[in-house]
Homo-oligomer: A and B are copies of this chain.
């Protein structure tokens, strides 16, 4: 067992990324070590350094592959309320699919490179449709993105609410979207409240 101690193939980067992503998803980013990753791949730890520059670069890479998996809904005809809600749900789906790595990305400044690419191309037009003036657009987008990010981080950490059933989480997310829709409407198109429809219909009735 000299050149080919490993079973079969010659260790592709894709294989490394996939296994690393699995380890992180199972045990958090702190559960990923080069030595454990090598063990999971049935390989000498040092072999990894032939395909990956460093542990940091590896984490960067799997953050990127995660970001690419954001499935942005296309709803060209729909009113902005529906589109914003759908975008929020898509974003939430990514976060719950990769809870550990997603939280990690959003709390580590050095990973700005992994900003969700296509997200803003869809997000900004929605805010324009909501009546946000151009000179407030970027700031509003940043704030709303931070709001949703914060909610998702808190939900994943169980830092929130006594009731942590999936239904309660869903309700809380809807409450958050509702608050955002109402805030946007009140600030930027107060006349349109009755006519919009989507926001009011989708808001779950409060049990009384």
Contact = CB atoms under 8 A, between A and B. Distances in A.
Interface of A: 103, 106-109, 112, 115, 133, 135-136, 138-140, 142-151, 153-162, 171-172, 175-176, 178-180, 182-187, 193, 206-208
A172 B151 contact: no
Given A178-B187, A187-B178, A138 B159 contact: no
A176 B147 contact: yes
A116 to B, nearest CB: 11
User: Interface SS of chain A: helix, strand, loop or mixed?
Assistant: helix
Contacts of A178: 187
A153 B109 contact: no
Contact of A147 (B106, B140, B151, B207): B151
